[in-house]
Structure 1
Amino acid sequence: MSLKGVLLDVDGTLVNSNDAHAQAWVEAFKKFAYDISFEEVRPLIGMGGDKVISLLVPGLTDSKGVGKEISSFRQQLIINQYGTKLSPTPGARQLLLKMLSEGLELIVASSAKSDELSVLLKSGGIDDLLPQATTSSDVDNSKPEPDIVQAALDKINLPPEQVLMLGDTPYDIEAASRAGINVIALRCGGFSDSQLEGAGAIYDDPAQLLEQYETSALSR
C-alpha cells in the first residue's frame, strides 16, 4: 500500500530546540528552588512536560501547585525567550517542500503545547507549510503514550499502513510504534542510534534524508 501521509515531530526534528527546552526546564525548576541539572533533563526531552516534571521531582504534577507553576514558567520562557531564537534543522524546509510536492499529507504530532508550537514553527521558518497539527493540548496523555500520534492519524483519516512518522527521540518511536506506525528517525535531536532503536531507518537530519529521498521509505 503506497504512502499517503507523514506525521511530523517538530522539536529536534524540524527545529533545533531540544537544548533550549532542557535549559528552560533547568531555569524553571531553579526559580522554584529545585536544583535540577541540564544533564538530568536533556535525556527526557521529547516526552510531554507532564511526564518530565513527575520524573524529575516525584510527587509534583503539572496540573496543580508548584508543579503547575514550574510548567507555566517554563512555557513562558520558551514562548517569550528561547523559542524566538531557534533555527531549523538542516534541510527541514526543503524536505517539507519535497514531501508536499510528492502529494503527501503532512501533519504535526508534537508533545509541545499549541501556543508553544506556533512559536517553534515560526522560528523554524516552516509555519506556512504545516497548517495541520495535533499537540499535547489536544490529548490527555503525551508522548511516549500514543495518544498524540493517534489523534493525528484520526485527523488526516488515513490507516497506519499508509503513514510514516518522522521523529528524533525514543519517545517518538515508542508513541508511533504503539499506534502501529513506522518511524524514520533523525540524529539531529541529539539521541544515539542505540536510543533510536526501533526506527525503520536513521538519518543525520532532514538534509540527508532529502539527499536519499528516492531510496527512503518516503518514496514507497
Structure 2
Amino acid sequence: MSAPSGLLLDAMGTLIGLRQSVGESYAAVAETFGLTIAPEAINGVFAGLFRQAPELAFPGLSGEALLEAEERWWTTLVAQVFAACGHEGPLPEGFGTTLFQHFAKADPWLVYPDVRENLQRWQQRGLKLAVVSNFDQRLLPLLEALELSPLLDAVVVSSVVGAAKPSPLPLQAALRQLELPAEQVWHIGDSPEDQASAAAAGIRCLLIKRAKPNGTP
C-alpha cells in the first residue's frame, strides 16, 4: 500500500469534540431564557432527532440566503428537541439564534490531544490536508479560533457543497481543492457515513474510535 499524498479529515468526533454534552450546553443557555429542561432529557432525544433531520446541505444557496438556511436548520432542530422534552409552545425569541452563536465560538469545543501533533507531522511530510465535515460555515472560523487552520489546506462543509456524507460529493470537492486524484488520498473519519462516502468516491477510509462523543450542537 503506497503512502497517501493527502488526507481528508472529518471534524466532529475525529479532530474536535464538545467539552460537555449537548444537553448540558442547551440546558445552561435555556436557563438564561427562563426555561428549565433537564440535560438528561435533552441528551435522550437529541441524537435520534439529529439523525432524522434532513441533510445539512443547501444546493444552490450562497451568501445571506445560505447563512439564513443554516441557522434555520439548527433552530428547527432545537425546537424539535425541546418539544420532545415536553416544552409546549414556541421557544423564547432569540433562543435558537443564541444557541447557534454559542457553538460558533471556541469555548464549547476541544481539540483531541493527538490532533495537533499529527497534523503538524503530516504537514511537515508534505501531505495536503483538508477537513470535510457535515456541518455549516461556522466551522471555518471555529477551526481558526482553535488554531487548526494554519495546518490545513482546505475546509469543505456540507452546507456549502450542497450535499452531505455519505454522498461522495463533499470528498470530491476536497479532492478538487487539493488537486489530487482519489487514489492518492485517504479519508479519516469516525462514522459509517465517512466510510460510505469514501467508498463512493473511490478513496481509502480509516475509521478512528474516540471515546463516545457528547454529540453535535
TM surpasses 0.5: yes
Report how many residues are paired: 177
Is 2:51 the partner of 1:42? no
Is 2:70 the partner of 1:70? no
Aligned-pair identity in percent equals 25
The aligned counterpart of 2:8 is 7
Unaligned residue ranges in structure 2 (runs of 5+): 57-67, 78-95
Deviating 4+ runs (over 4 angstroms): 18-29
TM-score (norm 2): 0.64
The aligned counterpart of 1:214 is none
Contact 1:18 1:189 in 2 (8 A): no
Contact 1:26 1:41 in 2 (8 A): no
Aligned-pair CA distance for 1:115: 2.2
Contact 2:128 2:152 in 1 (8 A): no
Q: Equivalences for 1:1-220 in 2 at 5 Å?
A: 2-17=3-18, 20=21, 37-42=42-47, 50-51=54-55, 63=69, 69-70=75-76, 73=97, 74-80=99-105, 83-123=106-146, 125-188=147-210, 190=212
SS at match of 1:87: strand
Flag the structure with larger Rg. 2
TM-score (norm 1): 0.63
Aligned-pair CA distance for 1:137: 3.2
Aligned-pair CA distance for 1:147: 1.7
Aligned-pair CA distance for 1:99: 0.7
Unaligned residue ranges in structure 1 (runs of 5+): 53-61, 192-220
Contact 1:15 1:121 in 2 (8 A): no
Bigger shift: residues 112-121 or 141-150: 112-121
